[in-house]
A and B are shown apart, each in its own frame.
Chain A
């Protein structure tokens, strides 16, 4: 990157499984007000605005109509990307690097509790010619993927269950979390089958909430902010688009994105150079698969690392101290955002009971969910 880009303000509503008293507009407004306040900026000082969202999740065709009002962005350059928040953040960094923009606000929210037919919406993402006619719940792809991943790498269902136990326990220390719980490995293993070997507790549960992050160029950031968090790099990749041509065992998108992000940020040994990682754990096995793809764990060893506590808070490299999607909740396009918020709080040393001591550099990774092979990796640092 040509110019350093910093996060100078964050706003988050917290997450809950339902939010009957607030519309998505009010959620967004709440997060936006907090973020602008923290950044010490008025919306008119923001040069451009970005939202990450998908029409069918929002219940509107052309959802970007409903973006500007609650962000204070009416009659301003606003854009929507239909991608994860982390990719939207990457577009924000790009815009600052063009030299034409100094401050950017990036927003994402989730109001999944409004969706009556979430499973049908997810199934609607399946290819209409080749896969949708099978009339399967979209989770069947996750089951296939998990089976193949465990087969090829030697990781076990029990180790996947340990991911669930770890993340849900971590979430008990996160006041934003919606799905924290004290569970045992047996609880997970004996939960109802979704698409074996995938079980009910292996899958994250949806949550509502909104997030906003204010980005600024280096010069602006120094003037605005005592504790800027620097974005060292953001990179995203899509793997094979067609699920039927994909190697289910590997998350090639995460590998490609991490390689590029590490090269730009100068990360040579992720295990040493990173102090914590927020990894996409929409399903329990995904955390293991992503750890191996990124190169934090060697092939087949991510489960073992989890089992021995290396990825727990206080371990060699804490993974998902926030509680991850399993503990905080699955927030769809806002998933990467929830993890970015955690990373910023860790790097400002404001994470309270779940603070990773002396955290200097962290990794955030996202995946767009079934049936995609698209994901992003960001490296954030406080120095």
Chain B
């Protein structure tokens, strides 16, 4: 049985900031309202809602989905929260796809919201309790600590230098100068990144995306409704997600197998056999600069170990053969976890509609991919969009 076609017909995004004055529900409202306005719809036209948000510890509210409900338009509606850790932002529209593709509804609102600044004194505190309480927490690991391990392993495997990796941060932070939601867009140079303060060698401050508050939303519609609403629908052509073991210390960290599995699932659905040729724009998840390279390889957009060279040669710049993170990514626009993933989906949506303004890549792209990642180096979520 074939599934129903699902389109994105509207998108909204708030500014990403360090400490938002608005509460989580208020940010959800702002993003949802913008998305509905763009789609030309009212809340009453929305049949079902799915909300993505990363750990409850950020907001400091148990059952955070219920707390965000009123702002996300969930009053008196079928409303549910989906959650795959850091992969949530791209999984949320996949969840929405399930709602519409199954025939459960024709119009579904997908909202992603993250307010990390409520977590005092720093959102990193929330990450102290993600580790196994018996085998890992006694070592007092932090997230940056384990990503330093992963980055080191990746550099070692392919003989990469710090500069090979830092070029991603330079590209993305500069790209973000054109994004109206951007929090830390900066005209940084390679030296700036290499000379920034060391957090956990080899991770420096400018290798990392900031902690952010922000929200994003998209409206999904079935084929028939989408064609009535807009002459520029962007179709969800493939979806994939995959979760690896919780025992991250038992696997080799140089390659994200779970991202590859998720990508293969999405590509198979979208009928994509040669991703590096068929995909014209990509938004891999880049909370750290090395992760963009990692994920380009996991997404099968290039050979393993090749991503750094392609970046150095300008392949991944906006004017290159395969623009990656033309939005500015998490490194430049900011990283309110779940909202970042949806921001990336929205970027592909805008690029395919040729509505990305100064960020627009040349060549009328037809197919794009967005991806997010998270948990203990464990989850990959992938969505393929087509004009």
Contact = CB atoms under 8 A, between A and B. Distances in A.
B354 interface: no
Contacts of B59: 128
Nearest to A71: B243
B78 A97 contact: no
B76 A73 contact: no
A64 B80 contact: no
A61 B130 contact: yes
Given A77-B241, A78-B243, A238-B79, A97 B102 contact: yes
Interface in A85-137: 87, 91, 93-100, 121-122, 124-125, 127-129
B91 interface: yes
B77 interface: yes
Interface string B348-387: 0000000000000000000000000011101100000000
B257 interface: yes
B56 A56 contact: yes
B62 A61 contact: no
Nearest to A77: B241
A69 B75 contact: no
A19 interface: no
Contacts of A295: none
B233 interface: no
B82 interface: yes
A61 B103 contact: no
A68 interface: yes
Contacts of B3: 98-100
In this complex, the interface size class of chain B, counting residues with CB under 8 Å from chain A, is 35 or more
Given A65-B85, A98-B101, A77 B375 contact: no
B129 A94 contact: no
B60 A128 contact: yes
B67 interface: yes
Nearest to B65: A82
B246 A82 contact: no
B230 interface: no
Interface in B47-76: 54-57, 59-67, 69-70, 74-76
B127 interface: yes
B255 interface: no
Contacts of B70: 240-242
B63 A3 contact: no
Contacts of B262: 77
A371 B69 CA distance: 12
A145 to B, nearest CB: 16
Contact of A82 (B83, B129, B133, B269): B83
Interface in A328-354: none
B45 to A, nearest CB: 17
A214 B236 CA distance: 28
Interface string B1-20: 11110000000000000000
Contact of B62 (A1, A65, A80, A125): A125
A65 B82 contact: no
Contact of A94 (B77, B81, B99, B132): B99
A315 interface: no
Nearest to A94: B102
A124 B62 contact: yes
A368 B245 CA distance: 29
B61 A64 contact: no
Contact of B55 (A55, A96, A242): A55
A257 B79 CA distance: 11
A336 to B, nearest CB: 13
B243 A77 contact: yes
A50 B362 CA distance: 40
A129 B244 CA distance: 38
A79 B91 contact: yes
Contacts of A100: 3, 101, 269
A64 B129 contact: no
A239 B258 contact: no
B249 interface: no
Interface string B96-131: 011101111000000000000000000000110110
A285 interface: no
A76 B82 contact: no
A77 B75 contact: no
B247 A59 contact: no
Contacts of B86: 62
Contact of B103 (A1, A55, A95, A371): A1
Contacts of A69: 245-247
Interface of B: 1-4, 23, 54-57, 59-67, 69-70, 74-86, 91, 95, 97-99, 101-104, 126-127, 129-130, 132-133, 240-247, 257-258, 261-262, 265, 269, 374-376, 378-379
Given A1-B103, A74-B244, A238-B69, 8 more contacts: A55-B56, A62-B374, A78-B241, A82-B63, A83-B65, A91-B95, A95-B98, A240-B76
The 4 closest A-B pairs by CB, nearest first: A97-B102, A241-B70, A241-B69, A99-B1
14 contacts: A54-B56, A55-B57, A57-B62, A61-B57, A74-B243, A75-B244, A77-B242, A77-B262, A79-B91, A87-B80, A95-B98, A100-B101, A125-B61, A125-B67
